Amino acid sequence: MIAFWVLAPIMVAAALGMVMARKAVHSALLLAIIMVSLAVLYAVQDAPFLFVVQIIVYTGAILMLFLFVLMLVGVDASDSIVETIRGQRLAAVVLGVLFGATIALGITQTSVGVIAGLDEANAEGNVPGIAVLLFSKYVFAFEVTSALLITAALGAMVLAHQERLTPKMTQRRVAERRMQDYAESGKPLGPLPTPGVYARHNAVDTPALLPDGSTSTVSISRSLQARGNIRQALVGEVDDTLEQITEDTKTRSTTGNLAPDRSADQGGPQ
């Protein structure tokens, strides 16, 4: 009974949090708390088989499926606060309180009589007891369950299946398209220029400098361009670098000692 009084408040709080949580991932994690607590309550009530099945099937399989779908659908797909039906939320809460009060009242008013306990039924162990029942009295339901599971698996496969709308891009098709582009628009056949080769830095966010001093826009990855993470390498900057390097070489030649190589971290034109 201690387990019950410890777990029951946690479960109710987690359930309320699950309903009220803004983000679906939080709801899923709170549902995991409820399910593990329920498994413990099954173990307390002489149902070790259901304890294990609850943890494996619910917390292990179903909840992970929920999380997978949440990741597919997008974690930040949160609810809109706008009510489509006016007063729906209030009405739902009032109805829920009335419903809960009715059931709770009904349960507390009735007496369940003497609790027989499962000591006799579990005499040969819980799992053999369940197996005997499952394969004698409930064998038909058990067999129908297999049909249900197969239907569900097939249904999920059909629903989640996606036809390919465009033919697969093979290496041959890529090469053909490249040649076609070259014939039509003169797009260069070779690979795009690498970033920053003739620029001040040789980082990937620095555009390559063309021989006339302008920057080549195609040398930067498109995702960097979209994020606006391009480092500007201006013509003046190159001149500054050139001046610094010439000063460096002058001082080095006059003093004669090997000063720390500053051209490495300035990455001058190579």
- Token pair for residue 78? 């949160």
Q: How far is the CB of 15 from other proteins (least distance, A)?
A: 4
- Output 22 or 222, the one with its CB closest to other proteins: 22
**Does residue 242 touch other proteins according to CB under 8 A?**
no
Class of residue 74 by CB neighbours under 10 A (exposed 0-12, middle 13-18, buried 19+): exposed
- Output 137 or 227, the one with its CB closest to other proteins: 137
**Does residue 249 touch other proteins according to CB under 8 A?**
no
**Does residue 16 touch other proteins according to CB under 8 A?**
yes
Site string for other proteins, 144-183 (x = CB under 8 A): -x--xx-xxx-xx--xx-x---------------------
Q: How far is the CB of 86 from other proteins (least distance, A)?
A: 14
Q: How far is the CB of 142 from other proteins (least distance, A)?
A: 8
Residues 81-120 that bind other proteins (CB under 8 A): 84, 88-89, 92-93, 95-97, 99-100, 103-104, 107-108, 112-113, 115-118, 120
Rounded Cα distance between 158 and 181, Å, is 39
| Helices and strands per DSSP (H, E), number in the chain | 11, 2
Contact 204, 195 (CB under 8 A): yes
Cα-flanking dihedrals φ and ψ of residue 33, to 5°?
-60, -45
**Does residue 135 touch other proteins according to CB under 8 A?**
no
Query: Can you state the angle between helices 63-73 and 24-44, rounded to 10 degrees?
Result: 180
Rounded Cα distance between 238 and 235, Å, is 5
